[in-house]
Amino acid sequence: MEQENKQLADIADDGVDRRGFLKCMAWAGTGLVWTMSGGIPVSRAFAKSIGKENKSADLSFVQISDSHMGFSKPANTDVIGTLKSAIDQINGLGTQPEFLLHTGDISHLSKPEEFDNVDQILKSANAREVFYVPGEHDMLDDGNGKAYLDRYGKNAKGAGWYSFEKRGVHFIGLVNVVNLKAGGLGSLGHEQLEWMEDDVKHLKHSTPIVVFAHIPLWTVYPEWGWGTEDSAQALGYLKKFGSVTVLNGHIHQIMQKVEGSVTFHTARSTAFPQPEPGKAASPGPMKVPAEQLKSVLGITDVNFLKRNHSLAVVDSTLA
């Protein structure tokens, strides 16, 4: 036990040892900085001066998720306004992101005007480009996802999976919201998995990997469908890499998990929160007092420091 304690000693000198870190995993606080350093997570007392700390970040991007454009119910009757607030938040960051990652449920009902509205609002973000993966709400057109592909899938395969590289970091966008089976969870499917295996085959083990998909790629809460049936196979292809970051959405709250060299992270929504697993009858939109809404919506800022091989993931709320 003593030996174990020594190994789990306070790495960051801020009073949080690895065991404490693991306990903190599900905390949805604001501005918590998780830094992956050589595969070992190091927590730092958060500071809104993340911009100052990461002036020398080699790569900076922001994840937003679940904008549900078109939703208008008591949980949030102004998803346009809250998405605009998220963009203001992004534009106010110390380090401007090079691009945005939208992890799906861009629209609420896959209507053209819903996609148009999001496109329009995201134009005012100080980021050069936006990369997307679809959520199940983006596959509701008559073409079962053709509307999404026509807009966002120009360089993608199948239902919209693809990969790209930025400053030596390899990004993989996966689609786990099609061909869902009754009683099941999210699903990647054989064709996509084969593509992924091939995609990472020749990459050096030292290449940092970022995987992004809508539904969590680990089993957060199966009763509510919060998981992906065949994600283990996908993660198996990434075993050789020293740093893997998985970014997901769908559950409208922050959940984090570290497993070896893989850090899993889900983002808040910019539209409405959902209850914690099992804390409500169903995972639907959760109403909070109007003045609290912005404090349960948010963005995720990610900064990559090449020399440290570290990825800092910072969540912040809209208020």
Partner 1 sequence: MRRRSRAMGFAVSLMIALALLAGAERSVDAQQATTPEVKIDNFSFGPASITVPNGTTVTWINRDDIPHTVVSSDSAFKSKALDTDEKFSYTFSKPGTYSYFCSLHPKMTGQIVVR
Q: Contact residues for partner 1 (CB under 8 A)?
A: 73-75, 108-110, 136-137, 140, 142, 180-185, 223-225, 281-285
Q: What is the DSSP string of 245-284?
A: EEEE-SSSS--EEEETTEEEEEPPPSS---PPTTSSSSSS
Contact at 8 Å (CB) between 255 and 262?
A: no
What residues form DSSP beta bridges with 44? Answer: 33
Q: And the tokens for 315?
A: 């969540």
Q: And the tokens for 117?
A: 């509205």
Q: CA 211, CA 136: separation in Å to the nearest integer?
A: 18
H helix intervals, the chain: 2-7, 18-24, 50-53, 79-91, 112-122, 146-152, 190-200, 231-236
- Tokens 């609290």, residue? 292
Q: What's the gap between Cα 192 and its chain centre? A: 19
Least distance in Å: CB of 292 to partner 1? Answer: 18
Least distance in Å: CB of 225 to partner 1? Answer: 4
Q: And the tokens for 279?
A: 């804390």
Least distance in Å: CB of 138 to partner 1? Answer: 11
Q: By C-beta, is 217 or 262 nearer to partner 1? A: 217
In this structure, what are the phi and psi dihedrals at residue 54, rounded to the nearest 5 degrees? -110, 30
Contact at 8 Å (CB) between 284 and 307?
A: no
Least distance in Å: CB of 43 to partner 1? Answer: 34
Least distance in Å: CB of 62 to partner 1? Answer: 26
Least distance in Å: CB of 31 to partner 1? Answer: 30
Order of strands across the sheet with 162-166?
A: 162-166, 169-173, 209-212, 244-248, 262-266, 256-259
- Tokens 């929160």, residue? 273
In this structure, what are the phi and psi dihedrals at residue 24, rounded to the nearest 5 degrees? -75, -10
Least distance in Å: CB of 11 to partner 1? Answer: 39
What residues form DSSP beta bridges with 311? Answer: 304
Least distance in Å: CB of 110 to partner 1? Answer: 7
In this structure, what are the phi and psi dihedrals at residue 186, rounded to the nearest 5 degrees? -65, 160
